Structure 1
Amino acid sequence: MKIVIISGSIVGTKTKTAMLKTEEIFLQKYPEHDVQLLDLADYQIEYSDGRNYIDYEGDTKYVTETIMNADALIIGTPVFQASIPATLKNIFDLLPIHAFRDKVASIVVTAGTAKHYLMVEQQLKPILAYMKAQIVPTYVFIEEQDFLRKEISNDDIIFRLDRLAEDTISTFEAFEAIRIKKDEAYGF
């Protein structure tokens, strides 16, 4: 199984810190899976202009193809102005409408306060559902107070990230079994 962890911002450190911890958890608990971190700050990504993602070049092509080849996505995003950052939205815009069909998507959010917890339900989950992702229902919401010196200081957050990893694997396995059963029903 190919798992792609996305740090969906080009500024700040909290989302990257959370996604590095998520990557560490996956690598420790599930070494048999191919786990890759895509930190969008490390790439020069073009703005979406309506072309097919395979027609882009360089970093844009690499990032979009890596996402398209994934079986599961762990999407990390900060909350900017009560929404997802433009960098992450651009990634969604670069991909085709059904980009996440047969993919499991999990979510990790970093925010200054708890006031923005509904952003996931009202904005991010609808985008993922529109793109046909199988969304892990629970997500990890991390506030400013959960960090200390660029590290996650709240043990409950670590526990929830660990559980998110388990839920991601379990959800993928469940939907994979359903997909196989449907494919076998066709008899060819």
Structure 2
Amino acid sequence: MKLVGVAGALAGWKTNVVIHHVLEAAKEIDSNIETELIDLRDVEVEFVRGEPLAYYNEDTFKVVNKILNADFLVFGTPIYQASITGALKNLLDHFEVDAFKGKVTGIITTGAVEKHFLVSEYHLKPVLAYLKGLVPTTNVFVHNDSFSDENEIIDEEVTKRIKLLANEMVDLQQKNKRFMKEDT
């Protein structure tokens, strides 16, 4: 199985660090899982214009197809102005309505205000569900105070929640994969 993490931050490293930990935790659960981290600051995803994917630049085409070809996904974003980043929302706008059907889609958010944990539930989760992603019951919000000055996670509770999310994602995806085989 292939797990792709998408870091929607264009500045800072906290979101990337947390996604990396989720990817590593998933590999600890099942060593056969192949992982990849897509950092949106490293690619030029064009703004959606309502055209077929083939009309966009190579980065856009490659990123969208890597996500479509993944077995399951984890999306991460810092919270700015009580919302996900524009870069992540733009990327999600490139997908058709059933793009994530049969894929578990985990959520990671980071931010400086505790109440921003609600963005996962009321903003990102509905978008992923609209794209037919299977959203785990667990998501992880990491407050900026949970990081050292070197952007290392220093809160053991956060580490536990990351492992819980990875476990739920792997379990759901394995069960979903078996179900999809039985259904065909």
User: Does TM, normalized by the shorter one, top 0.5?
Assistant: yes
Q: CA separation in 2, counterparts of 1:169 and 1:56?
A: 32
**Matched letter for residue 164 of structure 2:** R
Alignment check: 8 A CA contact 2:26 2:170 kept:
no
Residue in 2 aligned with 1:186?
none
How well do the aligned residues superpose, as a CA RMSD in angstroms?
Answer: 1.3
Residue in 1 aligned with 2:161?
160
Alignment check: 8 A CA contact 1:52 1:96 kept:
no
Alignment check: 8 A CA contact 1:5 1:38 kept:
yes
Tell me the secondary structure at the aligned position of residue 24 of structure 1.
helix
Tell me the secondary structure at the aligned position of residue 170 of structure 2.
helix
Matching of residue 99 in structure 1 with residue 90 in structure 2: no
CA shift, 1:23, in A, is 2.5
Unmatched runs of 5 consecutive residues or more in structure 1: 184-188
Tell me the secondary structure at the aligned position of residue 51 of structure 1.
coil
1:106-121 residue pairs with structure 2 within 5 A? 106-121=106-121
Q: CA separation in 2, counterparts of 1:134 and 1:21?
A: 21
**Matched letter for residue 139 of structure 1:** N
**Matched letter for residue 20 of structure 2:** L
Alignment check: 8 A CA contact 1:100 1:133 kept:
yes
Q: CA separation in 2, counterparts of 1:55 and 1:160?
A: 40
Taking every aligned residue pair, what percent have the same amino acid on both sides? 33
Which range is displaced more, 150-159 or 174-183?
174-183
**Matched letter for residue 39 of structure 1:** D
Give the alignment's TM-score, normalised by structure 2. 0.94
CA shift, 1:9, in A, is 1.5
Alignment check: 8 A CA contact 1:76 1:108 kept:
yes
**Matched letter for residue 41 of structure 2:** A
Alignment check: 8 A CA contact 2:146 2:153 kept:
yes
CA shift, 1:141, in A, is 0.9
Alignment check: 8 A CA contact 1:104 1:172 kept:
yes
Tell me the secondary structure at the aligned position of residue 99 of structure 1.
coil
Question: What is the CA deviation profile of residues 2-22 of structure 1, one whole-angstrom value per residue up to 9, with x for unaligned ones?
Answer: 110111111122111212222
Alignment check: 8 A CA contact 1:53 1:95 kept:
no
1:1-12 residue pairs with structure 2 within 5 A? 1-12=1-12
**Matched letter for residue 179 of structure 2:** I
Runs of at least 4 residues of structure 1 off by over 4 A? none
Residue in 2 aligned with 1:61?
61
1:118-137 residue pairs with structure 2 within 5 A? 118-137=118-137
Give the alignment's TM-score, normalised by structure 1. 0.92
CA shift, 1:56, in A, is 2.3
Q: CA separation in 2, counterparts of 1:27 and 1:179?
A: 22
Alignment check: 8 A CA contact 2:23 2:166 kept:
no
Tell me the secondary structure at the aligned position of residue 174 of structure 2.
helix
Matching of residue 17 in structure 1 with residue 13 in structure 2: no
CA shift, 1:181, in A, is 2.2
